[in-house]
Amino acid sequence: MEKTVLGLFRTKEDAEDAVRELRNSGYNENEISIVARREENEGMGATRDEADNSIAGGTTTGGIIGGLAGLALGAGALTIPGLGPIIAAGPLAGLLSGTAAGGIAGGLIDWGIPGERGRYYETKVREGRIMAAVRTSDTRIENAAEILRRNGAEDVETH
């Protein structure tokens, strides 16, 4: 059975470290998701594609989400009503693009996260936090949670 662990990072460097450790521990791009708010002025002085790659990174080209090297498939920019522009990568990105009207909370509900907790994480992304989600087998989920915590994640919880 699959479970999901969620955590919030204050800095992209902490999120980068966590993703790097997850990848080095055998978690793959089909298990790791990242969601971050994209500021309107982000990437000033760069082309739109360069700005998107500095945040979302095309994983097929080895790009990064805010420096998160080779994170996941399906990285891209979305605009969610009431939330604004976000960057998402990994399996959650696909859910968000299909449920843009439901926002991040709607995508998390599809993964079995209670609505109240999904709304909490959505609010934190709106405030500028970086949300990481790892969806993996229940035998590996506690290890993923520990990796997130060790790298500075706050509000880490498993569902």
CA distance 122 to 135: 18
147 near 39, Cβ under 8 Å?
no
pLDDT tens digits, residue range 53-64?
A: 333 333 322 333
Burial class (CB in 10 A: 0-12, 13-18, 19+), 44: exposed
Q: What is the pLDDT of residue 77?
A: 63
Place of tokens 């936090």: 129
List helix spans (H) across the chain.
12-24, 48-55, 91-98, 103-110, 115-126, 141-150
pLDDT tens digits, residue range 64-115?
A: 344 443 444 445 665 665 666 778 888 887 777 655 556 788 888 888 899 9
For residue 45, pLDDT over 90 is answered with: no
pLDDT tens digits, residue range 117-147?
A: 999 999 999 899 999 999 999 999 999 999 9
Which residues partner with 131 through β-bridges?
A: 8, 35
Indicate whether this model's pTM tops 0.85.
no
Residue span of the structural domain in which 76 resides: 2-158
- How many domains does the structure of the chain reveal? 1
